[in-house]
């Protein structure tokens, strides 16, 4: 269902593809490029910036509130995330949150923030695993990430995590779909150019999960990847897949130096 919705809204027809290719070729030396990294926020018109900046106007704050509710929810074991991390998450490590995805010595792999939250639920609270990107996990992620707002993103790569980083990097630079385009074509070379009514940004991940004015939904990073794959007329990977988690890791490194801005507001 959802995929169909996306297709009808987002798919680019053959005529459009030619138009886009022509447009992109004409900008092969892009004078609109911002220095790297620049947040998607800086590409927004002023009225959208105001909505993101104002907690009362930002519709993404509803999801933050829902996340807080789940955070304090004692469910059946009469214990909750708040038991360890503080009633409003005041004992959460903000600096660490801004470093996800990060390598876990204990699990001997890179874990995303959603995976960390899920692991805490399973290991510390004896709860059932949540599915990747399911509403409850997304709300918790949005709440937890918003606690780190303003914190500088610092995603690290070590010897142990190098392969995973390289997988993400190769996906970012791989040609996909009929258009044979890579992520970096649109988000590095052609940033600043208008495409279908909105400005192409650097595709940074520092605002995620973001609230989308278009769909009136909170959107996760992996959901956004799906949309970009559909724009490329390429088969998307699964949300939570190794490929998407590796992309998220690589793109986390690309966002290093930017501030966490969850929930961002986007078209």
Distance in angstroms (rounded) separating the CA atoms of residues 17 and 180: 11
Which residues, 130 to 159, sit near ligand HEC by CB under 6 A? 140, 144
Interface with ligand HEC (CB under 6 A), residue total: 42
Candidates 117, 139, 157, 258: give the one binding ligand HEC (CB under 6 A).
117
Integer Cα distance of 160 and 157 in angstroms = 8
Place of tokens 């304090």: 72
| Residue of 81, 183, 186, 228 marked catalytic | 228
Residue 239 to residue 113: CA distance in whole angstroms: 14
String marking each residue 76-115 x if it binds ligand HEC according to CB under 6 A: -----x-xxx------xx--xx------x-x---------
Q: Is 228 in the site for ligand HEC (CB under 6 A)?
A: yes
Distance in angstroms (rounded) separating the CA atoms of residues 192 and 202 = 8
User: Of 60, 101, 121, 168, which lies in the binding site for ligand HEC, with binding defined by CB under 6 A?
Assistant: 121
Q: Is 228 a catalytic residue?
A: yes
User: What tokens appear for 255 in the block?
Assistant: 């966002």
Residue whose entry in the numeric block shows the structure tokens 């399973």: 122
Query: Which residues 24-83 are close enough to bind ligand HEC by CB under 6 A?
Result: 40, 71, 81, 83
Token code pair at residue 49: 């910036």
Which one of residues 6, 138, 210, 246 is an interface residue with ligand HEC (CB under 6 A)? 210
CB of 257 to ligand HEC, least distance (A): 15
Distances (CA, A) of 32 to 19, 258, 260: 19, 20, 24
Sequence-separated (6 or more) residues with CB below 8 Å from residue 10: 227, 230, 231
Q: Count of alpha carbons within 13 Å of 82, Cβ hemisphere only?
A: 13
Contact positions vs ligand HEC (CB under 6 A):
40, 71, 81, 83-85, 92-93, 96-97, 104, 106, 116-117, 120-121, 124-125, 140, 144, 181, 183, 185-187, 195, 198, 200-201, 203-205, 207, 210, 224-225, 228-229, 231-232, 247, 266
Q: Which residues are catalytic?
A: 228
């Amino acid at each position: 269902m959802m995929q169909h919705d996306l297709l009808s809204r987002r798919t680019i027809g053959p005529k459009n593809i030619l138009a886009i290719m022509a447009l992109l070729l004409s900008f092969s030396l892009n004078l609109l490029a911002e220095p790297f990294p620049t947040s998607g926020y800086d590409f927004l018109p002023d009225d959208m910036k105001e909505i993101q900046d104002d907690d009362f106007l930002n519709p993404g704050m509803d999801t933050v509130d829902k996340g807080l509710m789940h955070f304090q929810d004692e469910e059946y074991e009469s214990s909750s995330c708040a038991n360890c991390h503080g009633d409003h998450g005041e004992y959460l490590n903000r600096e660490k949150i801004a470093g996800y995805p990060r390598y876990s010595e204990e699990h001997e792999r890179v874990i995303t923030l959603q995976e960390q939250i899920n692991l805490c639920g399973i290991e510390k609270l004896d709860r059932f695993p949540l599915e990747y990107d399911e509403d409850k996990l997304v709300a918790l992620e949005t709440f937890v990430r918003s606690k780190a707002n303003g914190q500088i993103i610092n995603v690290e790569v070590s010897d142990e995590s190098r392969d995973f980083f390289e997988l993400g990097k190769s996906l970012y630079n791989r040609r996909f779909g009929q258009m044979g385009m890579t992520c970096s074509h649109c988000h590095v070379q052609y940033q600043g150019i208008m495409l279908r009514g909105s400005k192409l940004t650097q595709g940074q991940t520092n605002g995620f999960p973001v609230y989308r004015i278009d769909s009136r939904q909170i959107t996760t990073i992996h959901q956004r990847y799906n949309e970009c794959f559909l724009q490329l007329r390429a088969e998307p990977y699964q949300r939570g897949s190794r490929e998407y988690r590796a992309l998220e890791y690589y793109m986390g490194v690309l966002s290093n130096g930017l501030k966490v801005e969850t929930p961002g507001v986007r078209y």
